[in-house]
Amino acid sequence: MESQDANGRYDKLIAEWLDRGRVVRAKPRASAVDRVDDFGADYFEHLETRFAGSREPRRMSYALVGIAMLFGSSRAAEISLPRLRVFRETQIRAAPCPDCSSW
């Protein structure tokens, strides 16, 4: 059974496609100079805006710092699932963050 929401999204995509003359929209590509550090900093700013006054930005900062330490100077396009699994394993073995007990 199809949902009305899914049908609405489908109709919208088809309408946009027809408006473009049946041309597929190009997918944005990451710049070769986009580093993991850059994305992490942008994401942290987003968290501070979206979750102003909450602990969420600080909690996420522990993960962001860990990712930056392992992959910071790498191009974002180079980060793969195996590399993220390495990060996950280092986090599992690491001591808990100071705020974890208050989650």
- Residue 53 sits at φ, ψ, to 5 deg, of 85, 0
The torsion region of residue 17 among left (phi > 0), alpha (psi -120 to 50) and beta comes to: alpha
| pTM of the entire predicted model | 0.52
Question: Which tens digit of pLDDT belongs to each residue from 47-86?
Answer: 999 999 999 898 888 888 888 888 888 888 888 888 888 8
Question: Which tens digit of pLDDT belongs to each residue from 11-57?
Answer: 888 888 888 888 877 666 655 558 888 888 888 899 999 999 999 89
Q: What is the dihedral of CA 70, 75, 79, 84, to 10 degrees?
A: 20
The torsion region of residue 94 among left (phi > 0), alpha (psi -120 to 50) and beta comes to: beta
Q: How far apart are CA 14 and CA 20, in angstroms?
A: 10
* Domain ranges for the chain: 30-102
| 23 Cβ contact partners less than 8 Å away, ≥ 6 residues apart | 17
DSSP 8-state symbol, 96 = P
